[in-house]
């Protein structure tokens, strides 16, 4: 099996790992992905991290299953684990109504918070 992962947040900004050619049914990747999210993502459960797993094949890639977790859940879990805004999570891999297809363990880290100031309002000119 040559398994790769498609990672997205709320089905947008999809990124992909390379296929693991050596791991077989237990693939491993050393791949980082960066996303910029708003502060509200760590306050409310609305924003979801989705990791879809596929097996690369010549006749078309085969869907294996997926993992869903909220960004808030990741953030809350990282705060409980020492407050360093990073952690590791193991989630069941689901494939529709087929149930659990195994587990996926991944690590994550939240970076620094940035503040972006609004530009000053445009002044209305009278002519």
pLDDT in tens, the chain (127 residues): 899 999 999 888 899 999 998 888 889 998 889 888 877 777 877 889 999 999 999 999 999 999 999 988 888 887 766 666 788 889 999 987 777 878 999 998 887 766 666 666 666 655 5
- Reduced 3-state DSSP string for 52-113: EEEECCCCCCEEEEEEEEEHHHHHHHHHHCCCCCEEEEEEEEECHHHCEEEEEEEEEECCCC
CATH code for the domain defined by 3-109: 2.60.40.150
What's the rounded Cα separation, in Å, for the pair 115 and 59? 47
Q: What is the pLDDT of residue 82?
A: 63
**Can you give the pTM of this predicted structure?**
0.80
Signed CA dihedral, 12, 67, 3, 37: sign only: positive
Q: What is the pLDDT of residue 5?
A: 94
């Amino acid at each position: 099996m040559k398994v790769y992962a498609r990672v997205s947040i709320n089905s947008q900004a999809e990124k992909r790992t390379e296929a693991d050619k050596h791991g077989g049914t237990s693939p491993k990747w050393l791949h980082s992905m960066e996303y910029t999210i708003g502060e509200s993502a760590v306050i409310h459960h609305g924003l979801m991290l989705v990791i879809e797993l596929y097996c690369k094949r010549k006749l078309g890639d085969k869907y294996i299953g997926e993992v869903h977790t909220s960004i808030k859940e990741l953030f809350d879990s990282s705060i409980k684990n020492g407050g360093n805004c990073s952690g590791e999570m193991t989630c069941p891999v689901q494939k529709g109504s087929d149930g659990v297809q195994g587990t996926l363990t991944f690590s994550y880290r939240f970076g620094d918070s940035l503040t972006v100031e609004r530009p000053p309002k445009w002044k209305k000119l009278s002519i």
